[in-house]
Structure 1
Amino acid sequence: MGGPVGGVLFDKDGTLFDFGATWNVWAGHTLRDLAEGDVKVLHALADVARYDLETARFLPDSPIIAGTNHEAAVCLASALPGRAVGDIERHLMLTSSEAPLVPAVPLVPFLGVLAGMGLKLGVMTNDTEYGALAHLGTAGVIDLFDFVAGFDSGHGAKPAPEPLLAFARAMGLAPERCVMVGDSSHDLVAGRAAGMLCVGVLTGPAQAEALEVLADVVLPDIGHLPAWIASLS
């Protein structure tokens, strides 16, 4: 049967990649692109996105942080009268696929350690599957994952448990032998509902206090994960 853990499913943004260093930069450029030089529109976009233009960062209560690409487009459309949601959604998909990625830890050696422990590895993000594949490809780690899904891959989106259960089924693992690793309550609520072990990491906007009530453990970053998994044996 193997050890207590047989598979690890990662969130992408704020987990594999540092959220602030990657997405705060992208968001500033994207909001300005969408505003097309109109300062009033730019401030309206920043307001609905809960993005601080002065400090160039998302505020912790931003609906975009853990939402799907479609939900982000709907949010921004409220400040862009006359602009189709589908048009905004496509713009977000294409621009986010080229975001300046900053891995939370060196990913190739880290994932190699987990694979060497005999673990199946997956990614489930509320980003698009297109974006997930683009980012993992750019980071040079796409071949190290056994499962990659976005909110549009047909399994649903977090915080629903279905996409997590799809990973367990695809890997032939009972959910209780899987670990969900994420930086947001969406990730951990989904993990709990799926019956998985839940690990919170602090490389996203959420503070430890918000994650501790949902997680089995909260780690500074994913680099601490192999030692924690080994401690369960």
Structure 2
Amino acid sequence: MARIDGIIFDKDGTLFDFHATWSVWADRFLHDLAEGDAAFAARLGRAVGFDTTTKVFDPDSPVIAGTPGEGAALLAPHLPDDVVEGLVERMNREAARAPQVEAVPLAALLAELRGRGLRLGVVTNDAEGPARAHLEAAGVADGFDAIIGSDTGHGAKPDRGPLLAFAEQTGLAPAHVAMIGDSPYDLSAGRGAGMVCVAVLTGPIPADRLNPLADAVLPDIGHLPRWLDDRKSGKV
């Protein structure tokens, strides 16, 4: 069994609890776009797979693991031209200010993992700017060797490009890197890159959808140290 020398984390739904963060943000953002018109906000929500009544994303929503550009493309047909212009920039600007709810206490977990000699990275389909803002607000940006967004220049998940970019930047063999994520995009990218794939359940995708794609499914990233220990001892 290959040793693990590095870990790549997805951001939303992995480092940060998806529902506690993005369901709240999406409801506010859609109502802002609709200028307070609840029926219009609901229509915009349906376009991106978000229910403004229950404030929950559909597990099949294309924006869960998508890029800001993909989300904007779904909203654009329902918006006036003057709003569509600059929509991606507006989404990134507003997203950068979204309060993030940590899935587990991140500083302590990252310190433990770095103490084991692991190289750590973030690969997200969010833009790099908001991603860095979120990690800096949580006080953990310096804990990562690389922070790669969908606009960094290596492509976006489910493509393997950004994951391989992390491996190249850190000098690690992909087979010795674990990709940790909450969506099929994360796991497909990890599989394509030849990495170990670990799913967590702090996003909107249920375990039965993740099990076939993952080498392991954990409740949250706080279980990683135990998983690493069990893997090293041959228990998993």
Pairwise same-fold verdict (TM > 0.5): yes
Return 192-201 or 91-100, whichever deviates more.
91-100
Aligned residues: 231
Question: Is the CA contact 2:66–2:125 (under 8 Å) kept in the aligned structure 1?
Answer: yes
Q: Does 1:43 align with 2:39?
A: no
State the match for 1:205 in structure 2.
Answer: 204
> Counterparts of 2:215 and 2:85 in 1: how far apart (Å)?
38
Q: How does 1:170-209 map to 2 (within 5 A)?
A: 170-209=169-208
> Counterparts of 2:82 and 2:126 in 1: how far apart (Å)?
21
State the match for 1:58 in structure 2.
Answer: 57
Question: Is the CA contact 1:77–1:83 (under 8 Å) kept in the aligned structure 2?
Answer: no
TM-score after normalising by structure 1: 0.96
SS state at 1:213 partner: helix
> Counterparts of 2:101 and 2:229 in 1: how far apart (Å)?
27
> Counterparts of 2:230 and 2:165 in 1: how far apart (Å)?
26
Structure 2 letter corresponding to 1:162: G
Cα 1:176/1:85, change in 2 over 3 Å: farther
> Counterparts of 1:220 and 1:178 in 2: how far apart (Å)?
20
SS state at 1:181 partner: strand
> Counterparts of 2:206 and 2:58 in 1: how far apart (Å)?
12
State the match for 1:158 in structure 2.
Answer: 157
**Which stretches in structure 1 are left out of the alignment for 5+ residues?**
none
**Percent identity between the two aligned chains:** 54
Return 193-202 or 90-99, whichever deviates more.
90-99
SS state at 2:78 partner: coil
> Counterparts of 2:230 and 2:57 in 1: how far apart (Å)?
35
Structure 2 letter corresponding to 1:181: I
Return 197-206 or 3-12, whichever deviates more.
3-12
Question: Is the CA contact 1:73–1:86 (under 8 Å) kept in the aligned structure 2?
Answer: no
> Counterparts of 1:84 and 1:41 in 2: how far apart (Å)?
14
> Counterparts of 2:216 and 2:125 in 1: how far apart (Å)?
22
State the match for 1:6 in structure 2.
Answer: 5
- 1:43 deviates by 2.2
Structure 1 letter corresponding to 2:49: R
> Counterparts of 1:19 and 1:83 in 2: how far apart (Å)?
30
> Counterparts of 2:71 and 2:16 in 1: how far apart (Å)?
19
> Counterparts of 2:85 and 2:152 in 1: how far apart (Å)?
17
Question: Is the CA contact 2:179–2:197 (under 8 Å) kept in the aligned structure 1?
Answer: yes
Tell me the C-alpha RMSD between the 2 structures.
Answer: 1.2
CA offset digits 1:118-153 (Å, max 9, x no partner)? 000000000000011000000000010000010000
Question: Is the CA contact 2:8–2:177 (under 8 Å) kept in the aligned structure 1?
Answer: yes
- 1:85 deviates by 4.2
Question: Is the CA contact 2:10–2:182 (under 8 Å) kept in the aligned structure 1?
Answer: yes
> Counterparts of 1:83 and 1:221 in 2: how far apart (Å)?
41
> Counterparts of 1:184 and 1:219 in 2: how far apart (Å)?
13
- 1:55 deviates by 1.0
State the match for 2:125 in structure 1.
Answer: 126
Question: Is the CA contact 2:42–2:51 (under 8 Å) kept in the aligned structure 1?
Answer: no
Return 65-74 or 50-59, whichever deviates more.
50-59
SS state at 2:213 partner: coil
SS state at 2:120 partner: strand
